[in-house]
Structure 1
Amino acid sequence: MIPIQLNVFCIIVYMLESLIIIVQSSLTAVVLGREWVRVKGLSPVDKILTVLGICRFCQQWSSMLFNFCSYLHPNYVFWYLAIVWEFINTLSFWLTSLLAVFYCIKVSSFSHPIFLWLKWRIVKLVPRLLLGCLLISCLSIIFSAMRHRITIQLKSMRHFARNSTVIERLETFQWDFSIYQQVAVLVIPFLLFLVSVVLLMTLLSQHLRQMKHDHTGHSSSSLKAHVTALRSLAIFLIIFTSYFLVILISIIGTLLDKGSWFWAWEAVIYAVVSIHSILLMLTSPKLKKALPVRC
């Protein structure tokens, strides 16, 4: 058990982080959405960021509703709020992976026909890929809804003395299936993100070494731009990997005492989310101009 003072402190930190994320996501959606309406179009990156900003806004509100409703009414199961959060979290994972894949394809210099075709078509494919991310998330949430429904039914069956062994076996199977399903839904887009970012960093490193080798004709500003890009990608990789790991540990749940460390763990998760949101905002020149300070 943690002291009540620390628990209250974690709740306050979580609320401040939630406020930051809501402001960040609102700014992203409003600025880019207004530009989308004004010029009747956006760059592919800004389109992804707009949808991602809307996702983060909805995700944070669903998180706050679920956490406080579950904390104030522990005897009730707010499974529908958990499903909303899982759906938006899965969608945000796929959108972040799509952003990394887009940058990787645009920067890559491979001569393979598939890469050349993707490089030529990726801009026009972004709306379809956004729709694909939405459909995949909808498909995964069907299994989540079934999982939550079975969990509620199994808990209600525990009140009956008959077939207690069968119920325990069903609960064990359902628990294993629940973990594998949630992990698989997040691992696939994370692996896409990981491969894309590592490949992108490798290409930029090779190009930087080549520029340093024959530095004639290359300005120092170009070298600094490559170094800055590599540093930004490394930070982005660390932050998103951290987010994936804390979500993974939260899903497994065996390492945490949810009763005592729940709010501390939520504060850790959404601290990473807020940093990740800031990094995403810095990928758009339009959002940089809207920020109150220079980045």
Structure 2
Amino acid sequence: MGSKSLAAQEMMSILETLSVIISIVEFIMGIFGNGFIILILCNDWIRKRKSSLIDFILMGLAGFRICFLCATLSTITFQLVYEKVLVSKSVLMIVIILWTGSNYFCTASSTCLTVFYFFKIANFSNPVFLWMKQKMRVVLLVIILGSVFSFCVSLVFIDVFTSVSMQHLVKIEQNFTSHYTKKFYDSLIYFIPLNIILFIFFVVSLSSFLLLLFSLWRHTKRMKLQGMYSRDLSMEAHVRAMKAMISSLLLFITHYVGYLMIMLEYCVQDTVTIRVFMHLLLFLYPSGHPFLLILWNSKLKQASLCVLRKLKCVKEDIIPHYQK
């Protein structure tokens, strides 16, 4: 029994270490990818003294994702290394507020990006669509203000949620099964109000994608009726936007699978394995999506290729020097 217990502890230690390594690698990738987007777009803004709406959205999204990555890494650090610090309600509350706020604004910015693609590329004759397309900046502003309002409202639930978490931390030595079951249900009560706005943002993004898909279907059908079977510029724009939307939606779903696993962590005893996958999924969206944005955006793609060419030239200059 002693050897089995020791082996189990060693396995848990390995998984904990793996979780930390995965988190750090994805964190560095996310900071690099999002930082690259901000650097290139800010440099272009300063050089041209003007910036497009899409550039503002991408810069905001990248900035909020950097904040989210830092808040997530701080939360994981508290959980894995400085768990006793979480006994302080003020520290726990600050961590939850920073994580929730950055999560809200990341999702709002991502939704703005999806809505922007939809209004720029979709082609409908519906008067409501045409009016909203003309007022697109107002629509995007409403999304941002909605996230700000929801975040302010969520502060009430965050305070209650923090108090409940503190109560369970104090009672952790009592009946283990009832403790985790009660903690799960109590957390779920406050988890739902905190994430209603995130669900709304997801519905808006999904609706934009489906409507864009419908717009592409109508455009393709119209072209076939006219005897045109090759892709035109409008179809190419539809396809590029849909690729960007699909990647964003899939990573968004993956991200919130990890988010839901946080809740699962409350009702099971062995949470180390869950924590490894949870950290992997939580970082995947803000760390992986920037590289897809660079791939789909012509300005960012061109800048990244230029950087790669310069790095290649530097490498070719350094290697012969060391060989001598």
> TM-score by structure 2 length?
0.74
2:110 is equivalent to residue 101 of structure 1: no
1:122-137 map, 5 Å: 122=136, 124-125=137-138, 128-129=141-142, 131-133=144-146, 135-137=148-150
Q: Which residue of 2 aligns with 1:187?
A: 199
Q: Which residue of 2 aligns with 1:280?
A: 293
Whether contact under 8 Å (1:87, 1:141) holds in the other structure is no
**Could you tell me how far apart the structure 2 residues matched to 1:251 and 1:20 are?**
26
Deviation of the 1:141 alpha carbon: 3.9
Structure 1 window deviating more from structure 2 (54-63 vs 72-81): it is: 72-81
Distance 1:219 1:85, change over 3 A: closer
Distance 1:126 1:172, change over 3 A: closer
Task: Name which of 104, 118, 121 aligns with 1:90.
Answer: 104
Does the residue aligned with 1:282 lie in a helix, a strand or coil? helix
Whether contact under 8 Å (2:15, 2:272) holds in the other structure is no
Task: Name which of 246, 260, 263 aligns with 2:276.
Answer: 263
Deviation of the 1:54 alpha carbon: 0.5
Deviation of the 1:230 alpha carbon: 3.9
Whether contact under 8 Å (2:212, 2:238) holds in the other structure is no
**Could you tell me how far apart the structure 1 residues matched to 2:257 and 2:271 are?**
17
Larger Rg: 2
1:172-183 map, 5 Å: 174-183=186-195
> TM-score by structure 1 length?
0.81
Q: Which residue of 1 aligns with 2:314?
A: none
Give 1:239's aligned amino acid: L
**Could you tell me how far apart the structure 2 residues matched to 1:37 and 1:129 are?**
27
Distance 1:142 1:76, change over 3 A: same
**Could you tell me how far apart the structure 1 residues matched to 2:185 and 2:19 are?**
34
Give 2:115's aligned amino acid: V
Whether contact under 8 Å (1:91, 1:133) holds in the other structure is no
Q: Which residue of 2 aligns with 1:236?
A: 248
1:149-183 alpha-carbon deviations (Å, 9 max, x no partner): 42255348859x9xxxxx99x97874342121233
2:28 is equivalent to residue 16 of structure 1: no
Does the residue aligned with 2:84 lie in a helix, a strand or coil? coil
Structure 2: 5+ residue runs without aligned partners? 1-7, 310-324
**Could you tell me how far apart the structure 1 residues matched to 2:102 and 2:258 are?**
17
Q: Which residue of 2 aligns with 1:245?
A: 257
**Could you tell me how far apart the structure 2 residues matched to 1:252 and 1:140 are?**
25
**Could you tell me how far apart the structure 2 residues matched to 1:11 and 1:171 are?**
25
Whether contact under 8 Å (1:108, 1:203) holds in the other structure is yes
Q: Which residue of 1 aligns with 2:315?
A: none
